[in-house]
Amino acid sequence: MKLVVQEFLSLDGVSQGPGAPEEDTSDGFERGGWFVPHLDEEFERLAGGWLGEADALLFGRRTYQNFARDWPAMTDHPLAGIMNGLPKYVASRSLTTAGWDPTTILSGDVPAQVAELKRQPGRELQIHGSARLAQSLLAAGLIDTLRLVIAPVVVGQGRRLFPDGGAPAGLRLAEHRTTPGGLSVHVFETAGAPGFGTYGGGGEGGAGSQGLVNTEGRTTPRAA
């Protein structure tokens, strides 16, 4: 299976509590629900298509507990049958039981267990939310695809998907679209380690006048 991350983000990179004010108030977060005003029918159709590609779901403990609390009660939601019925895995050192069936608890060496899940036949193993888990699996080189949906809002507080000090990663943009509600949808494929370069070649025009010097020493001419 491919390991796919799906995250809702603000423009300043916050991923905490997108769906409701009370969804995740940990660490004093008071600005939940910032994603909801930008939902539209086009994105809901897109999200439904993504979920239709999943053969299993993977969560961190906090996101799992939030989903396990909410989704069984959302019987009228068009995606509830899929969400509630798919096999689920939760990475946790503290959970000993999980009531949102069918669920398997992953403890111990989570990256190794996720790597084993990826070797199983199937389409997508999807991570929804669970930013800290996504960060650790990206650092371990296990993520194949990131679907990042950016809302046109600056939240100003909360946990970010990519905090300072995280592992670097190279990405390739595979798809991009904007929905009528202003959601910017970016689909990235992971591409190994990122490249780094130096902008500018010196000369009379100063730094940047001669083009972009990449890590191999070649200069790419600037557009006129």
Nearest to 42 by CA among 187, 180, 184: 180
Higher pLDDT, 166 or 104: 104
CATH number of the domain within which 134 lies? 3.40.430.10
Q: Are residues 95 and 52 in the same domain?
A: yes
Q: Are residues 181 and 103 in the same domain?
A: yes
Nearest to 38 by CA among 129, 154, 138, 130: 154
Please write the tens of the pLDDT for every residue from 90-120. 999 999 899 899 999 999 999 999 999 999 9
What is d(CA 30, CA 34) in angstroms, rounded to the nearest whole number? 11
Highest mean pLDDT (candidates 17-21, 77-81, 147-151, 191-195): 147-151
Contact 155, 10 (CB under 8 A): yes
- Count up the domains in the chain and report the number: 2
The pLDDT of residue 91 is 97
Mean pLDDT of the chain: 91
Q: Are residues 204 and 181 in the same domain?
A: no
Q: Are residues 160 and 223 in the same domain?
A: no
The pLDDT of residue 223 is 53
Q: Where in the sequence is the domain holding 155, given as residue range(s)?
A: 2-193
Please write the tens of the pLDDT for every residue from 170-188. 999 999 999 999 999 999 9
The pLDDT of residue 161 is 94
**Cβ partners under 8 Å of residue 45, min gap 6:** none
Q: Are residues 84 and 161 in the same domain?
A: yes
Q: Are residues 142 and 169 in the same domain?
A: yes
Q: pLDDT confidence of 209, banded at 50, 70, 90?
A: very low
Percent of the chain with pLDDT over 70: 89
Please write the tens of the pLDDT for every residue from 30-72. 999 999 999 999 999 999 999 999 999 999 999 999 999 999 9
The pLDDT of residue 79 is 93
Q: Are residues 54 and 104 in the same domain?
A: yes
Q: Are residues 137 and 205 in the same domain?
A: no
Contact 189, 46 (CB under 8 A): no
Q: Are residues 160 and 183 in the same domain?
A: yes
State yes or no: cis peptide before 152, omega within 30 of 0: no
Higher pLDDT, 212 or 180: 180
Please write the tens of the pLDDT for every residue from 121-130. 999 999 999 9
Q: What is the mean pLDDT of residues 2-18?
A: 97
Q: Are residues 169 and 223 in the same domain?
A: no
- pLDDT surpasses 70 at 222: no
Q: Are residues 83 and 121 in the same domain?
A: yes
Q: Are residues 185 and 211 in the same domain?
A: no
Q: pLDDT confidence of 200, banded at 50, 70, 90?
A: confident
pTM of the model: 0.86
